[in-house]
């Protein structure tokens, strides 16, 4: 009788151990545990946009960035309007426009960018929510290239279009603008 109970006890322990190993070595992924790239915002400061009608915040370059951002940031916005121009010094200029629930901004932009006959366009980075590209005049390809960003963020049920100035920017400035775009998020959000 003793050997039979010892046998069942060993069987139970073996079963539990096997069950534990099966679950701990599972190859299944846990939902929502996506790897996020951490961006260094060392030369930035956070700006709350709630006072100008956007319930969001954005990181903007500070005076240590070396792009002429030592001036106080200015936000140009007409009360009740749908456009915001954020200016930090001479070089950092961003335009944000509210498009409400219109979701076809990116496909329309992609169609427009491919029909421009004046410029050579080289797409540097293409993601689901932004495009970073280099632009050169076709008639003067040896002139300095300019860099541009076109992004769309969906925050609080609203699509926001995010662009830099039409003339373009240097590579250094566009890298700061890209980081600002990536930081554009809902207030008090853990995104």
Query: Is-contact 67 80, C-beta < 8 A?
Result: no
Helix, strand, coil share of the chain (percent; to 5): 25, 35, 40
Output the pLDDT for position 16.
Answer: 62
Output the pLDDT for position 23.
Answer: 57
Output the pLDDT for position 63.
Answer: 75
Domain count, the chain: 1
Q: Which residues of the chain are under the pLDDT cut of 70?
A: 1-5, 7-8, 14-37, 64-71, 116, 189-191
Q: How many CA atoms lie within 13 A of 153 on its CB side?
A: 22
Is residue 98 in some structural domain? yes
Output the pLDDT for position 36.
Answer: 57
149 SS3 class: strand
How far apart CA 69 and CA 90 sit, in angstroms, is 7
Is residue 58 in some structural domain? yes
Is residue 4 in some structural domain? no
Is residue 7 in some structural domain? no
Is residue 11 in some structural domain? no
Output the pLDDT for position 174.
Answer: 95
Domain that holds residue 154: 44-186
Is residue 152 in some structural domain? yes
Which CATH number covers residue 81?
A: 3.40.1000
Output the pLDDT for position 27.
Answer: 46
Tokens of 76: 């140009």
> Which residue, 90, 174, 68, is CA-closest to 131?
174
């Amino acid at each position: 009788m003793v050997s039979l109970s010892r046998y069942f006890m060993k069987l139970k322990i073996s079963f539990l151990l096997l069950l534990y190993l099966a679950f701990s070595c599972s190859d299944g992924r846990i939902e929502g545990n996506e790897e996020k790239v951490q961006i260094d915002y060392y030369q930035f400061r956070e700006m709350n946009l709630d006072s100008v009608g956007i319930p969001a915040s954005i990181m903007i370059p500070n005076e240590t960035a070396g792009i002429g951002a030592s001036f106080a940031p200015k936000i140009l916005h007409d009360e009740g309007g749908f456009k915001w121009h954020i200016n930090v010094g001479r070089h950092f200029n961003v335009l944000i426009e509210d498009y409400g629930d219109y979701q076809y901004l990116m496909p329309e932009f992609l169609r427009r960018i491919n029909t421009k006959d004046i410029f050579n366009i080289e797409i540097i980075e293409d993601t689901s929510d932004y495009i970073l590209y280099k632009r050169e005049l076709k008639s003067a390809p040896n002139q300095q290239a300019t860099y541009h960003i076109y992004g769309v963020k969906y925050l609080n049920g609203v699509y926001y279009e995010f662009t830099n100035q039409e003339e373009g920017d240097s590579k250094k400035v566009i890298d700061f603008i890209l980081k600002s775009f990536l930081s554009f998020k809902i207030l008090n959000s853990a995104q």
